[in-house]
Amino acid sequence: MRNIALRLAYDGTAYHGWQAQKNAVTVSQTLQKALGEVTGEVVRVTGCGRTDAGVHARTYVANFYTNSQIPADRLPYAVNVRLPRDIAVYRAAEVSDDFHSTFSATAKEYTYFIRRGRIHDPFLINRAHFYPQEPDIERMRAAAAEMVGEHDFAALRSVGSNVKTTVRTMHEIEITEDGETVAIRMKANGFLYNMARAIAGTLVYVSEGKLEPTDIPALLKSKNRTAAGPTLPACGLYMTGVWYPNDII
C-alpha cells in the first residue's frame, strides 16, 4: 500500500467546501471520483485543512493510500483529464506511511483579499470581498502586529469543531496593497474554524474605528467572540501556503 501526497489548487465557488457531504458537491468528493477512475479503487483522500463553501485554494495538500503502481509523476496528468477545470493537481509524490496532510504540516498560510472602492469589479465576484470604503491600512497593520506570536485565539473563531486547544502561534500577518486590492496574508502553525475570516473582519473593525489596535491583547485574553469583528464572507479567502518537513511535497 502506497501513500501518495498531492498538491492541488481549486476555485471553491461551485463547491460546498472541501469536506465530503451527503447532499452537496465538495472538492474532496470530486477529487476522489477522479482518483478512483485512475486507480480502479475506492479512494479516500485526507485534506490538509477544512475549507468552507466558497473558499479557494491556490495551493492545497491531500494524501491517499493506494495499491496502484502508477508512477507518482504521471498521476497529475491522469487525474486532471478527469477533473473539472476549477480543480487542478500539479504535483504528486510517494511519501512515508505516517505522512498525514494535516498533522504533518509545520505551517499554513491563508490570504484574505478585499476589493476596496465605491464600484465593485464584476470579475472579482466570488473571488474577493467587496468593501465600498477606504480602509485605514496603518491601523490594520498596528492591530495585526498585536496578533503575532502565541495566543489563545478563542475570540477569533467560530464554534463548529472540537479542538484540544485554541492556542495557536501566528508567525506573521502582512497587509499589502495592489491597486484596489488589499491582501491580508496570515501564516501560523495552524488555524481554528473560521479564524482567518474572523481576523480579517476584526482588522476591518479596527479600520472603521470600532476597535483600537491597543484593544487586541485584551480582546484575545477575553476569549469572547462577540467582542471581535465579524467573520467576513468566504469568497475572499484563499489557502496560499502549506509547509512540510524537507519539502516532501
Catalytic positions are 52
Helix (H) or strand (E) holding 237: strand 237-243
Is 76:208 a contact under the CB 8 Å cutoff?
Answer: no
Pairing mode, strands 56-66 and 2-10: antiparallel
C-alpha–C-alpha distance, residues 192 and 213, integer Å: 22
Residue with cell 498531492: 6
Interior/surface letters 108-134, b for 16+ CB within 10 angstroms, e for the rest:
bbbbbbbbbeeeeeeebeebbbbbeee
Is 53:67 a contact under the CB 8 Å cutoff?
Answer: no
